[in-house]
Amino acid sequence: AALDILLKHASHKFSVVTTPAETAELHALSAGFKAIASWHVINTLQTVRECCGGQGYRAMNRIANLKADTDIFATFEGDNTVLMQQVTRFLLSVYQRMSKEGRFSGPLAYMEGTGPRFPSLQNPSLLRDSAFYASAFA
């Protein structure tokens, strides 16, 4: 259900993209969606295979064939790890822009009023402070 909602949102975004900022957001959204969806398929098939016990290896039930076909999803059209790094880079750039503006907007507007205020990304000691992270996730 969550993946369906994300797919519908990405499809809508694709139809209305007009600016470079929207293009960057769509790229991050699609990169993250591809990685999450392919990891979900791979993990689901592995769980199905394990739940079937020894029968999970029989060619008759096609689980082995599906698993062989889907394992490649994690690497073709961009390795999932690299795709998630692209998402992280996008989110950090948005965070940096928001720290200058002092408020959340764009794809992170839903976070307005939540969590700690913006620390300076130029302050490495804060980024190493465990108290900051504890307050961020409290």
pLDDT tens digits in sequence order for the chain, 138 residues long: 677 777 787 777 778 878 888 888 888 988 988 888 888 999 999 999 999 988 888 888 889 888 888 888 777 777 888 999 999 999 888 888 877 777 776 666 666 665 555 555 556 677 677 776 676 655
The helix/strand count (H/E) of the chain reads as 6, 0
Helix axes 20-51, 63-71, angle to 10 degrees: 150
The CA distances from residue 135 to 11, 91, 105, 110, 117, in Å, are 35, 20, 22, 19, 10
Closest CA to 94 of 25, 16, 11, 23: 25
Instruction: State the first-to-last Cα distance of the chain, in angstroms, to the nearest integer.
Output: 28
The first and second tokens of residue 129, run together, are 């402070």
The verdict on pTM exceeding 0.95 is no
Question: What are the φ/ψ torsions at residue 19 (nearest 5 degrees)?
Answer: -115, 160
pLDDT at 55: 87
Residue 56 CB-half CA count within 13 A: 13
